[in-house]
Amino acid sequence: MAMFDIDVPYDRTKLHISLPEECVAGVLEGHQSEFKAEGTQEQLIERALDNPYSSPTLEELCQNKHDIVIISSDHTRPVPSKVTMPILLRRIHAAAPQARVRILVATGMHRPSTHKELVDKYGEEIVMHVATDDDAMIHIGTLPSGGSCIINRIAAQADLLLAEGFIEPHFFAGFSGSRKSVLPGIASYKTIMYNHNGQFIHDSHSRAGVLAGNQVHEDMMAAAEMAGLRFILNVVLNGDHEVIGAFAGDIHDAHEAGCSFVRELAGVKAVPCDVAITTNGGYPLDQNIYQAVKGMTAAEATLDEGGIIISIAGCSDGHGGEGFYRNIAENDPAEFEKSCITRAKSDTLADQWTAQIFARILAHHPVILVTDLCDHDMIRAMHMTPANTVDEAIAIARDLKGADAKFAIIPDGLGVVVTR
């Protein structure tokens, strides 16, 4: 019997999938790892900064500035700051040697990064954004949705606000990057929860790869404009988290260029199947269940009602949020999703958005979570079936769907935009 074999990312290592070829309906994989960039990571970044989209150069923007703030992603994002940040800082210090330069870590609603996580990324003056610290916030306007735009005072009062980040498909904002550095990155929890409301999340435009008509995205872009985000450096990564594309300049045009690049590489067609095996791209993106939901949405997009999702994710950091855990563990998924859709925007619960999407998935698909790094009782409490190995998960799926079940394999659920 001919076998299909593939290794997929899991935590800081890989796990092996082996299936009979006749059982494999298809492999949904982007072309990021096949793309051959012209130059090293550093050369790509330098070239992007030399040729910004619809913007003066970084050096020109830095002239006569005294308080420069760079928004950077936290420990849950694989932004290669060890590559990008030294280049940014060298150029900034050369152009504005008199300026105070601070790195503002965009935690959004994530937990603060630990000292070790920060040391692994940076070497400059660092400020940790805490979304619940009202004293550190300032109101700067009203979002198109009607919510208050409240952001970190350090960013709002900077002479020059910059952001580094990366662009990939995002499960309800369309794509990451650019405006997400501000909202949710350095926004108040009040603004984040209003933007991430149940109606917006439920809308069919709030999906990976979709920007047109996406109200979540429109609010985020408005927040970035109000904050005065003047310049971005966003990169695109391959499966090894190496830079294969870099886009700098205007928050609209540089972002759109990066999104177009990702669309070309990440677009895949759904395949009919009984079971979809997905991952969250390995560490740091699979360090908790909250993040792993993103990879599950790629599997959801290729399955019909009742199709099984096998999620391979280490989840060494557990569920990823007490509110998220309680929203799922203490409710029937279908009922919780309904309650989110009907809840007023101003009454959005903490961590409601990912829980709402997870509840939507659980209401329509059995989920098997493959991990030996996470408490299995907690997984069961969250309406999933735990498995220690891929083979164990496949056996469970076959018990449910039959020995002839067809499997789709998504080696990196965050690296694809699945369309029908």
- Active-site positions read 110, 170
Which pair of structure tokens corresponds to residue 288? 């908790």
Residue type, 150: I
In the beta sheet, which residues pair with residue 310?
Answer: 277, 368
Which pair of structure tokens corresponds to residue 213? 């008509």
In terms of phi and psi (left: phi > 0; alpha: psi -120 to 50; beta: otherwise), the region of 177 is left
CA–CA dist 201, 173 (Å, integer): 9
**Burial bucket for residue 56 (CB in 10 Å: 0-12, 13-18, 19+):** middle
Which pair of structure tokens corresponds to residue 140? 């700067």
CA–CA dist 47, 246 (Å, integer): 8
CA–CA dist 102, 158 (Å, integer): 10
In the beta sheet, which residues pair with residue 169?
Answer: 175
Three-class SS state of 235: strand
